[in-house]
Copies of this chain bind each other. A is one copy, B any other.
């Protein structure tokens, strides 16, 4: 079979399985998830042996140590995967929820019932634990899933899928509900993205290049997230101690993630008092400051920012800093350079806070809190399958509910339309 035929056949099988998975009871889904957790534990040495093959190949290929680290299914990562499965079991099942039910003037009763999306295609890089996390969330939401991980993790991903599929079979559930694409050819992705008859949603997770490729080649709806260029605006009325703590947390606590703080905007009225205090703390934490002209004048250690710094996701201990005239100037800067991920204002001014919350277009908008809270777990979604920075279907962290949709249901008593 050609790659195209292989992928198509997998998708056809996934669609068939999706119908069966959609009508499983919550108890059935939780039971198989529990069995998966047990099986991952029982088969840890097999999985780690397959993972070792990927690690050896990765080393031979000269992968960077950070990449090898992300690839490794250590005991700790295995335990986290298994713990994640148990957390998914504990989450409420979104399927079957009925809402907005009411009688219409015609006499029919109309409402909405939450249902699974169907088949989800997940395209991701590196970390093999995504295989288990994503499969568990999709299954709990009643969906089938086709997984296409990075080529460097192929043995790990196939081993994990095998263990998950055995658990499905043991519960008499069609194993095609969770499938890992067994080829590392790039062509497999292109084929997958054409199957709009079989696949309902594509979720890419990885670098900007992968996400652009998926987005430009897909006929299937894509929930995507390019990057997180998160801003924080320190208003004239901000409490300095609060602003300092929130900025440090946003920049330093975990600089390599998408909800880290990248650009600071400071109201001109407090710049002279605030920036030297901040600079001392940032420099002590090893943060490089790239400032506008006014910032550099106030902070001798700052480097001059270039135009390339404003739209940049540094993912590193670097912070761009700009002095702005007022709230409107701050919001205009965010409109121009923001990535619709997370934007924060630190203020004691009620009206400014309300305007910022209402007017800033981002998937998460905050007053007086760290950008680092932009996360499915912190927002109460339970677990997160990704973050969407496009507005259709879901905007922001996506949990189980975002893996479902709602249909209309109608209870009549013989009504006809006149």
* Stoichiometry, copies per complex: 2
Binary CB contact string for chain A from 202 to 216 against chain B (1 if under 8 A, 0 otherwise): 000000000000011
Question: Chain B nearest CB: distance from A219 CB in Å?
Answer: 6
Q: Does A306 contact B (CB under 8 A)?
A: no
Q: Does A351 contact B (CB under 8 A)?
A: no
Query: Which of the residues B110, B113, B407, B414 comes within 8 Å of A246, measured between beta carbons?
Result: B414
User: Which residue of B is nearest A380, CB measured?
Assistant: B104
Count chain A residues whose beta carbon lies closer than 8 angstroms to a beta carbon of B.
Answer: 68
Q: Does A39 contact B (CB under 8 A)?
A: no
A391 and B117 within 8 A (CB): yes
Question: Which of A28-36, A42-50, A356-364 binds B?
Answer: A356-364
Chain A positions 105-146 with a Cβ under 8 Å from a chain B Cβ: 106, 108, 110, 113, 115, 117-118
A373 and B409 within 8 A (CB): no
Binary CB contact string for chain A from 390 to 405 against chain B (1 if under 8 A, 0 otherwise): 1111011100000001
Given known A-B contacts A200-B391, A221-B221, A396-B407, A414 and B380 have beta carbons under 8 A apart: no
Given known A-B contacts A378-B108, A379-B104, A407-B362, A415 and B19 have beta carbons under 8 A apart: no
Residues of B within 8 Å of A364, CB to CB, are 407-410
Residues of B within 8 Å of A370, CB to CB, are 412, 415-417
Residues of B within 8 Å of A397, CB to CB, are 408
Question: Chain B nearest CB: distance from A353 CB in Å?
Answer: 8
Q: Does A242 contact B (CB under 8 A)?
A: yes
Residues of B within 8 Å of A417, CB to CB, are 249, 253, 370, 372-373, 378
Bound: A304/B374 CA distance, A: 61
Question: Chain B nearest CB: distance from A28 CB in Å?
Answer: 14
B362 and A242 within 8 A (CB): no
Question: Chain B nearest CB: distance from A152 CB in Å?
Answer: 29
A368 and B411 within 8 A (CB): yes
Bound: A383/B106 CA distance, A: 16
Residues of B within 8 Å of A22, CB to CB, are 359, 361
Bound: A368/B108 CA distance, A: 9
Given known A-B contacts A108-B369, A365-B407, A239 and B414 have beta carbons under 8 A apart: yes
Bound: A18/B407 CA distance, A: 30
B396 and A408 within 8 A (CB): yes
Chain A positions 317-374 with a Cβ under 8 Å from a chain B Cβ: 335, 357-359, 361-370, 372-374
Q: Does A413 contact B (CB under 8 A)?
A: yes
Q: Does A305 contact B (CB under 8 A)?
A: no
Query: Which of the residues B221, B380, B408 comes within 8 Å of A374, measured between beta carbons?
Result: B408
Bound: A242/B373 CA distance, A: 55
User: Which residue of B is nearest A241, CB measured?
Assistant: B414
Bound: A203/B408 CA distance, A: 20
Q: Does A170 contact B (CB under 8 A)?
A: no
Chain A positions 36-85 with a Cβ under 8 Å from a chain B Cβ: none
A363 and B96 within 8 A (CB): no
Q: Does A283 contact B (CB under 8 A)?
A: no
Residues of B within 8 Å of A393, CB to CB, are 221, 392-393
Bound: A178/B248 CA distance, A: 44
Q: Does A176 contact B (CB under 8 A)?
A: no
Bound: A372/B408 CA distance, A: 14
Q: Does A245 contact B (CB under 8 A)?
A: yes
Given known A-B contacts A23-B358, A414-B239, A407 and B369 have beta carbons under 8 A apart: no
Q: Does A406 contact B (CB under 8 A)?
A: yes
B-binding residues in A (CB < 8 A): 19, 22-23, 96, 102, 104, 106, 108, 110, 113, 115, 117-118, 196, 200-201, 215-216, 219, 221, 239, 241-242, 245-246, 248-249, 253, 335, 357-359, 361-370, 372-374, 378-380, 390-393, 395-397, 405-417
Could you list 10 A-B pairs, sorted by A, with CB under 8 Å? A102-B380, A110-B380, A113-B357, A357-B409, A365-B409, A366-B409, A368-B413, A372-B417, A393-B393, A395-B405
